[in-house]
């Protein structure tokens, strides 16, 4: 009889996490970060793939690229949070970033300097960062009062608990990186990089799962 019991229980081990994921996509996550997941997106997310929803739009005179992406990480939220909060990790979490440092620190509000490099092209700027520890969210936008090589940018990264010991990392960003060679020659690279952050977080947390 034991094998029969095991067979009866095993489907619920698969169904309950899936129901949890559906609820997650239908609640605050979906309200702020886009429509609920499609069946294909849920399947890919559960399989450990990076789920991306690229976006490009015009706002006033600005041309923005970015979107939203999600990644399942096999680690509790309390373990992932210190990784995304530590600016020293950003060169390993944000593709193309070779320099990241805090220039102002007021606890839950910071100003950080970031420099992106690809081949002979460099772009640097300052971002105002707001840390919301209660809901494990970090928000940022361009600090226009300081030198910046991009026109505009804003976004967030947030951690949602999944099950007892896993995390869904959500990254959303929209940026107007300007015109010229930065967008003309490297636009495809930028659009690929810009949504890879959750994948990079997974690579940092889970050994052997790839790096950025």
Residues 6+ away with beta carbon under 8 Å from 180: none
pLDDT band, very low/low/confident/very high, at 140 (cuts 50, 70, 90): very high
| Domains in the chain: boundaries | 2-205
Q: Between vectors from CA 88 to CA 165 and to CA 189, what angle results, nearest 5°?
A: 90
> Taking all residues of the chain, what is their mean pLDDT, rounded to a whole number?
83
- pLDDT-derived band at 34, boundaries 50, 70, 90: low
pLDDT at 4: 32
* Cα–Cα distance measured from residue 212 to residue 196, given in angstroms and rounded to the nearest whole number: 8
Separation of alpha carbons 189 and 95, rounded Å: 10
pLDDT in tens, 157-193: 999 999 989 999 999 999 998 765 455 556 666 777 8
Average pLDDT rounded to a whole number, residues 100-112: 96
- Hey, what CATH class is 2-205 in? alpha beta
Note the pLDDT of residue 2: 29
- Determine what percent of the chain is predicted with pLDDT higher than 90: 61
Q: Tokens standing for 18?
A: 């899936």
Confidence (pLDDT) at 111? 98
């Amino acid at each position: 009889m034991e094998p029969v019991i095991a067979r009866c229980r095993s489907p619920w081990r698969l169904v309950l996490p899936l129901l949890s994921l559906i609820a997650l996509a239908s609640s605050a996550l979906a309200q702020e970060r886009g429509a609920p997941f499609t069946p294909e997106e849920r399947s890919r997310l559960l399989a450990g793939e990076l789920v991306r929803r690229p976006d490009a739009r015009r706002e006033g005179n600005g041309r923005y690229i970015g979107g939203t992406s999600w990644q399942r990480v096999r680690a509790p939220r309390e373990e992932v949070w210190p990784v995304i909060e530590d600016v020293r990790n950003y060169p390993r979490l944000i593709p193309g970033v070779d320099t990241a440092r805090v220039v102002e620190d007021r606890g839950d509000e910071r100003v950080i300097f970031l420099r992106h490099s690809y081949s002979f092209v460099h772009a640097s700027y300052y971002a105002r960062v707001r840390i919301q520890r209660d809901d494990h969210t970090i928000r940022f936008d361009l600090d226009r009062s300081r030198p910046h090589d991009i026109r505009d940018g804003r976004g967030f990264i947030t951690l949602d608990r999944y099950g007892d010991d896993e995390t869904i990392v959500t990254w959303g960003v929209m940026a107007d990186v300007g015109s010229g060679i930065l967008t003309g020659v490297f636009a495809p690279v930028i659009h690929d990089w810009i949504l890879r952050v959750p994948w990079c977080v997974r690579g940092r947390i889970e050994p052997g799962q790839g790096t950025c």
